[in-house]
Amino acid sequence: MKRILIRMAFISSGLLLYAQEPTITVIDSLYREDQFYAGVTYNLLGNIPEGVSQNGFSGGYHIGFIRDMPINKNRNFALGLGIGLSANSYNQNMFINKDSSGSISFSLLEGSNNFSKNKFTGYLIECPLEIRWRTSTPSEYKFWRIYTGVKLGYVFAHSAKYKGDLGKIKHSNINEFNSLQYGLTLSVGYNTWNIHCYYGLNPIFSEHAQLNGSPIDMNSIKIGLMFYIL
């Protein structure tokens, strides 16, 4: 019985010493940041032709993955290269119509032509390239960030929808859309909330798209929020 009590005392002492040892936190000195993103934007049109105006809410939705590549020892300065998907709609008063032969025409909805919906939408595969600065450390998950760069997008699908006095009209496969879109990006914020801006450097429509005999040089401007996840 005495031997059993001695053994139990040794075991209890060992467990007590183990419990008193400090917990060791392993710090990843080769960490990466913000490799997934999701965002929502309010879409504006720049270089609007005379007579064209936006109405209602024009939204954009963005998701993707960016490979974070730190380029300094502290890993708070990095490059990011990624791929993602984006859907962007623009509500306005420019009517896009397609006749029986497939020819596209652009005109203004004005006067007595009442409508509840008139928008065009583009769906893109995007490749963002960013220069990234942040105040992160291997153990700090809440930090300031400034990410800026360019985004290249390929429009793989698009449509134009109208609902009004003329009925319900929907067109797709509109060749007058520019298949390639590119622009400048900027994301600034702290922790979860980040303001995101995009400024398109080329027109949404090709040179073949004309309104009242003039090219439609409208470009895309997006302002919203971007959320980053490890």
Encode pLDDT of 122-177 as tens digits.
999 999 999 999 998 888 778 999 999 999 999 999 999 999 999 999 999 899 99
pLDDT digits (tens, 9 = 90+) for 170-204: 999 899 999 999 999 999 999 988 999 999 999 99
Q: What is the reported pLDDT for 23?
A: 52
List CB contacts of 47: < 8 A, sequence separation 6 or more: 203, 217, 218, 219
In the predicted structure, residue 9 carries a pLDDT above the cut 80: no
Q: What is the reported pLDDT for 64?
A: 97
Please give the mean pLDDT across all residues of the chain: 88
Written as six digits, the tokens of 186 are 């900027």
In the predicted structure, residue 211 carries a pLDDT above the cut 80: yes
Q: What is the reported pLDDT for 2?
A: 45
In the predicted structure, residue 75 carries a pLDDT above the cut 80: yes
Give the residue among 209, 144, 199 at the shortest CA–CA distance from 177: 209
List CB contacts of 124: < 8 A, sequence separation 6 or more: 85, 86, 87, 88, 153, 154, 155, 156, 181
- Measured between alpha carbons, how far is 161 from 32 in angstroms, rounded to an integer? 42
Q: What is the reported pLDDT for 168?
A: 94
Return the sign of the alpha-carbon dihedral for residues 67, 68, 71, 73.
negative
In the predicted structure, residue 230 carries a pLDDT above the cut 50: yes
Give the DSSP H/E element, type plus range, for residue 108: strand 104-108
Q: What is the reported pLDDT for 26?
A: 55
Q: What is the reported pLDDT for 101?
A: 84
Q: What is the reported pLDDT for 227?
A: 95
In the predicted structure, residue 99 carries a pLDDT above the cut 90: no
